[in-house]
Chain A
């Protein structure tokens, strides 16, 4: 990592904290050095030629000597670039193999990532956890690596999973399962976003990856595996939720809500953000979202349900019990 690179931007590709991003960073520095050297040489030649051979006031009108070419010079500036290209090619090929051909070790976490217009669904098949928009993974100690392997699917159009500090991007394409992996070495929150145009609200399909300590991650898994909390205070909101179209798209585990078109809401309040990271998960924002999602995120596919103010309050209260 370049010193202080992460302060320039939380999504700086030159501040890697995971092996794929770090290997790419090493390669990029090498490629930048080689291309930088080529630039300096050729640019200097260009400036020299433009200055030295420019027409000067008082020059006579005779034509300069006509040179038609030189086989030796042509050979030199063909062979040297070929050698440079071979070196760059081999360096790139090595990194491709090291990243793409990695095999999941024992103890790897497997997550299925499903891209939707315009949010992320995360399913942990081994851990029986389903969540949305905020991916939790354990930190991976290089001595005892616990990398996370992602299987990338799409429910609708093309998307792309890009968290620059963790790895390069990989597309999510319908009918075309893809794979990538990360092994973050530092805990923290890492940002990214969809980087393949997927429709009207492509811009607000944000990615949040929480890298937890192993203990925190296990606690998170245990908590996410619980069924939905039942709270009598919010029974009116629950009734409205379950008797309107909400249940067609959303799941709340242990209730009649089984829809899969929108995010799983079983543990909604455990998430920092709503609307795929577009806004904070506060009471006001949640209420505004339920009233009309298109105000916060124009073009999103969740419709305004046309609820009255008391109904919105009730549904918001119900949502706030889903911890």
Chain B
């Protein structure tokens, strides 16, 4: 990776440092851009690991009564896949993007607390390493060998000493505890940076939507990850200090763990999707060549989603025996969140409407995101209707639904973000044709896998089963779903190849290859360590538009 700094020793006739020193620079860095890049690379590594775990599950499920892996291994795979993808792929990816981009977009030279930033990244990295060291040292459910196998939401009392006598659950608990501290650190950092470090003229009302959405994300992380981290401590107390919070044999409450987990777990969805919305809110206007439609409404809808998302968690618990009154309340809050989410989709459509849409790779991913997120939202409305949820939850329908959100919604926009900002981060353009190939492979694979996955759920196939008997009408769907993963895997390989090839061989990008409007495109590609030689001053939401169109600047209309 380019360091972005000037030559350190011009007299030696080379700008290249010895490898050890370069590594030392990276390990000790407090530069938000380098930390952002490390977050992203760390997440990509874990994306591959989590993907391999998914493929192992899909091979096992291709045939009824298959013996590709044992039930013990299968249980480990779905636990590790879920934990990895949420905590060590999706969160580091959104944190990486936020870390790299937010300070530049608001005209700052770094995050508010650079050392806390480095600490947070290394805590997350330590969490990932802890989780995977369980393969060496852990021991799971009775007779089940190593690595966590209690499911990614680790319902009590399966996590108690009685049912998980080994240490695999401890690895899981510690990994989430440690990475949770990192996440909270980053969130505090983001919120502070956005509140205190904006350049002159950048009022909250002129901030790029990407920064606004990451601000809301930061607030949600502080509110949502804290209870999860507390619950991990309580679980440790239960397991090693004779506590009985979740120990049902001693009068503890399994349902309380569910509340703790989902009061984190549902806002977590928005922690991931709101930054993805942020990417879409930057890419769609630039490639439609229009200002974002309804900026104040977009901000308001995001803040509304943030607040409402704190009140919907128990829709994950419609089947645990809450009263009809409680169920009705959570139906109401959950359906209410569809309104601001719908408003956002309409505003993106309004942005495209009347524009001149350039279908470059980032925009292709964003349009696919709109289509897929629409479906994900509508299946979400089905699941929000509690009685329908009594049939659909814990089945493959719900698996299809949340992969539609996380892959079809979040990962697609993250890919858009990769292609959009790759020239800024590396100074090189990506390869357009390879990018399109990646898009189509992943698009086809995604739909093959996750469209069809709804069907076995409707036909009564529960999640987390390592095998099933023939004659339930599930066979053909499982074969097709598994075939889809192949397309996705090849798509990811093309993506990786594109990143690597373009980094070394891509055309030189220049400062502003997209003719875009936010501050990151005013500085060099890659940006220098200090981002801006002089701190910019802005007068509108699109400072570069004002610069490029002095006859018709935005500030006249805002």
- Seen from chain A, the residues whose Cβ lies within 8 Å of a Cβ on chain B are 8-14, 21, 23-24, 27-28, 31-32, 35, 38-39, 42-43, 45-46, 49-50, 53-55, 59, 63-70, 73-74, 77-78, 81-82, 85, 88-89, 91-93, 95-97, 99-101, 152, 156-158, 160, 162, 164, 167-171, 173-179, 191-203, 206, 298-299, 301
Contacts and interface: CB of A to CB of B under 8 A. Distances in A.
Given A10-B472, A100-B327, A69 B157 contact: no
Interface string B454-466: 0000111111111
Contacts of B472: 9-11, 191
B144 interface: yes
Contacts of A55: 356-359
B337 to A, nearest CB: 9
Given A42-B349, A174-B157, 6 more contacts: A9-B472, A12-B460, A46-B374, A49-B352, A64-B288, A100-B327
Given A8-B473, A53-B356, A69 B371 contact: no
B387 A9 contact: no
A12 B459 CA distance: 4
Contacts of A21: 391
A65 B143 CA distance: 67
A27 B335 CA distance: 15
B342 A31 contact: no
Contacts of B463: 195, 197
B319 interface: yes
> 9 closest Cβ contacts across the A-B interface?
A168-B390, A11-B460, A9-B473, A203-B465, A178-B321, A9-B459, A174-B248, A195-B462, A69-B294
Given A74-B294, A101-B324, A173-B320, A46 B367 contact: yes
Given A85-B339, A170-B319, A31 B72 contact: no
A24 B388 CA distance: 6
A23 B255 contact: no
A81 B342 contact: yes
Main secondary structure on A side of the interface with B: mixed
Interface in B121-170: 141-144, 149-151, 155-158, 163
A168 B319 contact: yes
Nearest to B331: A92
Given A12-B460, A53-B352, A199-B141, A157 B158 contact: yes
Nearest to B359: A54
B293 A69 contact: yes
B18 interface: no
B205 interface: no
Contacts of A202: 75, 464-465
B451 to A, nearest CB: 13
Interface residues of B, number: 102
B462 A194 contact: yes
B423 to A, nearest CB: 19
Interface string B192-230: 000000000000000000000000000000000000000
A168 B397 CA distance: 14
A162 B143 CA distance: 27
B378 interface: yes
B437 interface: no
A100 B323 CA distance: 8
Given A39-B374, A43-B374, A89 B335 contact: yes
A221 B296 CA distance: 68
A53 B348 CA distance: 13
B338 interface: yes
B339 A23 contact: no
A97 B326 CA distance: 11
A67 B390 contact: no
Contacts of B49: none
Nearest to B75: A200
A197 B155 contact: yes
A24 B387 contact: yes
A45 B350 CA distance: 10
B473 to A, nearest CB: 3
Nearest to A158: B155
B474 A88 contact: no
Contacts of B384: 88, 92
Contact of B391 (A35, A77, A156, A164): A164
A277 to B, nearest CB: 9
Nearest to A79: B339
B557 interface: yes
